[in-house]
Homo-oligomer: A and B are copies of this chain.
Amino acid sequence: MKWDDLDAQPCSVARTLAVVGDRWTLMILRDCFLGVQRFDDFQHRLGLSRALLADRLKALTDAGVLERHAYQTRPERFEYRLTPAGIDLHPIMLGLADWGNRHLADDRGAPLLYRHKTCDHDFRPVTTCSHCGEALDARSVAVRPGPGFPDPRAARR
Protein backbone atom coordinates (compact mmCIF):
# COMPACT_ATOMS: atom_id res chain seq x y z
CA MET A 1 0.00 0.00 0.00
CA LYS A 2 1.30 3.41 -0.94
CA TRP A 3 0.85 6.34 1.37
CA ASP A 4 -1.49 8.02 -1.09
CA ASP A 5 -3.84 5.06 -0.94
CA LEU A 6 -4.35 5.42 2.79
CA ASP A 7 -7.36 7.64 2.43
CA ALA A 8 -9.01 5.00 0.27
CA GLN A 9 -8.92 2.52 3.16
CA PRO A 10 -12.15 1.85 4.96
CA CYS A 11 -10.61 2.91 8.24
CA SER A 12 -11.03 6.22 9.96
CA VAL A 13 -7.60 6.07 11.54
CA ALA A 14 -5.95 5.53 8.17
CA ARG A 15 -7.97 8.28 6.56
CA THR A 16 -7.16 10.72 9.32
CA LEU A 17 -3.49 9.85 9.04
CA ALA A 18 -3.66 10.50 5.30
CA VAL A 19 -4.46 14.11 6.24
CA VAL A 20 -2.41 14.76 9.36
CA GLY A 21 -0.15 11.71 9.72
CA ASP A 22 2.90 13.38 8.32
CA ARG A 23 5.95 14.21 10.41
CA TRP A 24 5.78 17.92 9.86
CA THR A 25 2.05 18.30 9.54
CA LEU A 26 1.48 17.52 13.19
CA MET A 27 4.25 19.90 14.23
CA ILE A 28 2.67 22.63 12.12
CA LEU A 29 -0.66 21.96 13.78
CA ARG A 30 0.92 22.07 17.22
CA ASP A 31 2.14 25.56 16.40
CA CYS A 32 -1.30 26.52 15.07
CA PHE A 33 -2.77 25.67 18.47
CA LEU A 34 -0.07 27.82 20.07
CA GLY A 35 -1.18 30.77 17.95
CA VAL A 36 1.32 30.75 15.11
CA GLN A 37 -0.29 31.85 11.85
CA ARG A 38 2.36 33.12 9.44
CA PHE A 39 4.60 31.39 6.96
CA ASP A 40 7.88 32.76 8.23
CA ASP A 41 6.95 32.14 11.86
CA PHE A 42 6.31 28.49 11.11
CA GLN A 43 9.53 28.29 9.19
CA HIS A 44 11.66 29.90 11.89
CA ARG A 45 10.09 27.90 14.70
CA LEU A 46 10.16 24.53 12.97
CA GLY A 47 13.22 24.91 10.78
CA LEU A 48 11.79 22.88 7.93
CA SER A 49 12.47 23.83 4.34
CA ARG A 50 10.31 26.55 2.85
CA ALA A 51 9.32 24.34 -0.06
CA LEU A 52 8.06 21.64 2.26
CA LEU A 53 6.27 24.11 4.49
CA ALA A 54 4.48 25.62 1.48
CA ASP A 55 3.49 22.13 0.41
CA ARG A 56 2.16 21.12 3.82
CA LEU A 57 0.24 24.34 4.35
CA LYS A 58 -1.39 23.89 0.97
CA ALA A 59 -2.28 20.29 1.77
CA LEU A 60 -3.80 21.29 5.11
CA THR A 61 -5.70 24.09 3.43
CA ASP A 62 -6.99 21.75 0.72
CA ALA A 63 -8.03 19.29 3.42
CA GLY A 64 -10.08 21.96 5.16
CA VAL A 65 -8.01 21.93 8.33
CA LEU A 66 -6.52 25.39 7.84
CA GLU A 67 -7.76 28.38 5.94
CA ARG A 68 -5.64 30.95 4.18
CA HIS A 69 -6.72 34.45 5.02
CA ALA A 70 -5.29 37.67 3.59
CA TYR A 71 -4.56 40.09 6.41
CA GLN A 72 -3.34 42.87 4.12
CA THR A 73 -3.18 43.77 0.45
CA ARG A 74 -0.41 45.51 -1.50
CA PRO A 75 1.47 43.33 -1.05
CA GLU A 76 -0.86 40.48 -0.30
CA ARG A 77 0.07 38.69 2.90
CA PHE A 78 -1.62 35.69 4.34
CA GLU A 79 -2.12 33.95 7.61
CA TYR A 80 -3.19 30.40 8.22
CA ARG A 81 -5.95 29.75 10.72
CA LEU A 82 -7.48 26.60 12.05
CA THR A 83 -10.93 25.91 10.68
CA PRO A 84 -13.57 24.29 12.92
CA ALA A 85 -12.40 20.93 11.56
CA GLY A 86 -8.85 21.88 12.53
CA ILE A 87 -9.92 22.88 16.02
CA ASP A 88 -11.52 19.46 16.32
CA LEU A 89 -8.01 18.02 16.24
CA HIS A 90 -7.41 19.53 19.67
CA PRO A 91 -8.11 16.31 21.61
CA ILE A 92 -5.45 14.55 19.54
CA MET A 93 -2.92 17.26 20.39
CA LEU A 94 -3.82 17.00 24.06
CA GLY A 95 -3.37 13.25 23.81
CA LEU A 96 0.06 13.57 22.24
CA ALA A 97 1.17 16.13 24.80
CA ASP A 98 -0.14 14.10 27.70
CA TRP A 99 1.60 10.91 26.54
CA GLY A 100 4.86 12.81 26.22
CA ASN A 101 4.40 14.34 29.66
CA ARG A 102 3.90 10.96 31.24
CA HIS A 103 6.35 8.80 29.31
CA LEU A 104 9.06 11.06 27.99
CA ALA A 105 9.48 13.62 30.74
CA ASP A 106 13.07 14.21 31.74
CA ASP A 107 15.51 16.94 32.63
CA ARG A 108 15.78 18.42 29.16
CA GLY A 109 13.25 21.10 29.98
CA ALA A 110 9.75 21.54 31.28
CA PRO A 111 7.00 20.24 29.03
CA LEU A 112 3.85 22.12 28.21
CA LEU A 113 1.39 22.78 30.98
CA TYR A 114 -2.32 22.91 30.27
CA ARG A 115 -4.81 24.85 32.35
CA HIS A 116 -8.55 24.60 32.16
CA LYS A 117 -9.74 28.18 32.18
CA THR A 118 -13.23 27.25 33.28
CA CYS A 119 -12.16 25.67 36.57
CA ASP A 120 -8.75 27.38 36.68
CA HIS A 121 -6.71 24.28 37.40
CA ASP A 122 -3.95 22.44 35.57
CA PHE A 123 -5.29 19.19 34.23
CA ARG A 124 -4.63 16.02 32.38
CA PRO A 125 -7.00 15.12 29.58
CA VAL A 126 -9.24 12.18 30.43
CA THR A 127 -11.03 10.40 27.62
CA THR A 128 -14.55 9.43 28.60
CA CYS A 129 -17.52 7.63 27.10
CA SER A 130 -20.04 9.98 25.51
CA HIS A 131 -22.86 7.75 26.67
CA CYS A 132 -22.14 7.00 30.31
CA GLY A 133 -19.44 9.59 31.01
CA GLU A 134 -17.10 7.06 32.56
CA ALA A 135 -13.35 7.23 31.90
CA LEU A 136 -12.30 4.83 29.16
CA ASP A 137 -9.45 2.39 29.23
CA ALA A 138 -8.31 0.24 26.33
CA ARG A 139 -9.65 -2.99 27.79
CA SER A 140 -13.19 -1.69 28.15
CA VAL A 141 -13.46 -0.70 24.50
CA ALA A 142 -14.56 -3.14 21.79
CA VAL A 143 -13.84 -2.24 18.20
CA ARG A 144 -16.42 -3.32 15.69
CA PRO A 145 -15.18 -2.96 12.11
CA GLY A 146 -17.83 -1.78 9.74
CA PRO A 147 -18.69 -3.79 6.64
CA GLY A 148 -15.83 -4.12 4.18
CA PHE A 149 -13.15 -3.64 6.80
CA PRO A 150 -10.64 -6.52 6.69
CA ASP A 151 -10.85 -8.75 9.73
CA PRO A 152 -7.87 -8.27 12.07
CA ARG A 153 -7.03 -11.94 11.84
CA ALA A 154 -7.99 -12.53 8.22
CA ALA A 155 -4.40 -12.22 7.06
CA ARG A 156 -3.52 -15.32 9.02
CA ARG A 157 -4.36 -18.50 7.15
Contact = CB atoms under 8 A, between A and B. Distances in A.
Nearest to A36: B152
A55 B24 CA distance: 20
Interface of A is mostly: mixed
Interface size class of A (residues with CB under 8 A): 35 or more
A91 B127 contact: yes
Interface in A1-33: 1, 3, 6-8, 10-17, 19, 21-23, 26-27, 30-31, 33
Interface string A72-92: 000000000000010111111
B117 A155 contact: no
Interface of A: 1, 3, 6-8, 10-17, 19, 21-23, 26-27, 30-31, 33-36, 38, 40-41, 44-48, 64, 85, 87-105, 108-119, 121-134, 136-138, 140-150, 152-153, 155-156
